[in-house]
């Protein structure tokens, strides 16, 4: 059964200099074009300069009890605090570098306590991809408290935050996966196989709603036809420019 108490939120995080405010602004614009009904768009960030005023910005959530500074995706675990700026309801977390290509309303309707993307490269593993997941705000405090209490051991055992949370929630019977077609990897499912990348354009797989960019290509790279990998050509991708805009 899908929890439905409280408001609906789309949340993202931005820190450091890797992604500029245009990533937040374009994500907001894509959500506004592809999500039906009322919702609030929230960004947790260390720098609000350049972020459009429609976005609700809050400081990056931090915890004084952390044994060391959280880097990379580990920061996402801070969103599981018991009281996250008083926000209550269902939250759909989106990475900044995703491209929304179709209606995402079903992501709030899909049943399950913690839906996440199933790993593409190694589908036999429990680990999900945390570029797109949904959870109830304040419902997984135990996950965060367990991490704080055993941070060194957890970071030694698990490569990243998505591996840790996937295994932790799987053991509780709370982890479920989005329908396979909804979230496509640009790298694995949109790009043609090498060497076809030199003369065939990337495509949107049938049934896809959100395209995930991970690895060496980000949306601006796809638009320009640029890969940051030797001897791996790519033609410019017009549909990324069509969707990844304000």
Closest CA relative to residue 60, chosen from 12, 116, 132: 12
Query: Contacts by 61-68 with C-beta closer than 8 Å and gap 24+?
Result: 61/85, 63/144, 63/148, 65/148, 66/148, 66/151, 67/148, 67/151, 67/152, 68/151
Query: For residue 67, what pLDDT is reported?
Result: 46
Q: CA-CA distances (angstroms) from residue 11 to 58, 94, 214?
A: 11, 6, 19
Q: What pLDDT band is residue 65 in, cutting at 50, 70 and 90? A: very low
Contact between 40 and 9 (Cβ < 8 Å): yes
Q: What is the mean pLDDT of residues 215-221?
A: 90
- Both tokens assigned to 2: 């899908």
Query: For residue 231, what pLDDT is reported?
Result: 59
Which fold, 7-177? Answer: Spore Coat Polysaccharide Biosynthesis Protein SpsA; Chain A (3.90.550)
Q: What is the dihedral of CA 104, 129, 202, 192, to 10 degrees?
A: -140
Query: For residue 206, what pLDDT is reported?
Result: 97
Q: What pLDDT band is residue 70 in, cutting at 50, 70 and 90? A: low
Q: What pLDDT band is residue 1 in, cutting at 50, 70 and 90? A: very low
62 vs 24, higher pLDDT? 24
Where are the CATH 3.90.550.10 domain residues in the chain?
Answer: 7-177
The top-scoring range by mean pLDDT among 5-14, 59-68, 134-143 is 134-143
Query: For residue 118, what pLDDT is reported?
Result: 95
Query: For residue 71, what pLDDT is reported?
Result: 61
Reduced to 3 states (helix: H, G, I; strand: E, B; else coil), residue 206 is coil
Reduced to 3 states (helix: H, G, I; strand: E, B; else coil), residue 72 is helix
Report d(CA 212, CA 183) in Å as an integer.
Answer: 7
Pairing, β 128-136 against β 89-94? antiparallel
Decide if pLDDT at 72 tops 70.
no
DSSP letter string, 74-111: GGGGGGG-S-STT--EEEEEE-TT-EE-S--THHHHS-
Q: Give the pTM.
A: 0.93
Query: For residue 123, what pLDDT is reported?
Result: 81
pLDDT tens digits along 138-162 = 999 999 999 988 988 998 899 889 9
Query: For residue 159, what pLDDT is reported?
Result: 87
204 vs 125, higher pLDDT? 204
Query: For residue 223, what pLDDT is reported?
Result: 96
Query: For residue 227, what pLDDT is reported?
Result: 81
């Amino acid at each position: 059964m899908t929890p439905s108490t409280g408001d609906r939120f789309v949340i993202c995080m931005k820190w450091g200099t890797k992604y500029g405010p245009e990533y937040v602004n374009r994500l907001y614009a894509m959500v506004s074009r592809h999500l039906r009904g009322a919702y609030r768009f929230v960004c947790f960030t260390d720098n609000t300069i350049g972020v459009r005023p429609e976005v609700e910005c809050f400081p990056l959530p931090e915890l004084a009890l952390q044994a060391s500074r959280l880097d990379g995706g580990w920061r996402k675990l801070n969103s599981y605090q018991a009281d996250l700026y008083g926000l209550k309801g269902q939250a759909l977390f989106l990475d900044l570098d995703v491209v929304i290509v179709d209606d995402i309303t079903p992501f709030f309707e899909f049943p399950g306590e913690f839906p996440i993307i199933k790993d593409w490269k190694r589908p036999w593993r429990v680990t999900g991809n945390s570029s797109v997941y949904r959870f109830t705000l304040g419902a997984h405090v135990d996950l965060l408290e367990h991490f704080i209490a055993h941070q060194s051991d957890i970071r030694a055992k698990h490569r990243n935050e998505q591996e840790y949370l996937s295994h932790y929630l799987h053991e509780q019977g709370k982890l479920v996966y989005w329908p396979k077609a909804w979230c496509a990897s640009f790298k694995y499912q949109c790009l043609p196989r090498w060497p076809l990348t030199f003369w065939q354009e990337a495509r949107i797989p049938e049934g896809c709603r959100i395209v995930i960019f991970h690895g060496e290509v980000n949306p601006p790279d796809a638009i320009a036809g640029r890969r940051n990998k030797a001897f791996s050509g790519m033609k410019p991708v017009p549909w990324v420019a069509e969707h990844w805009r304000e």
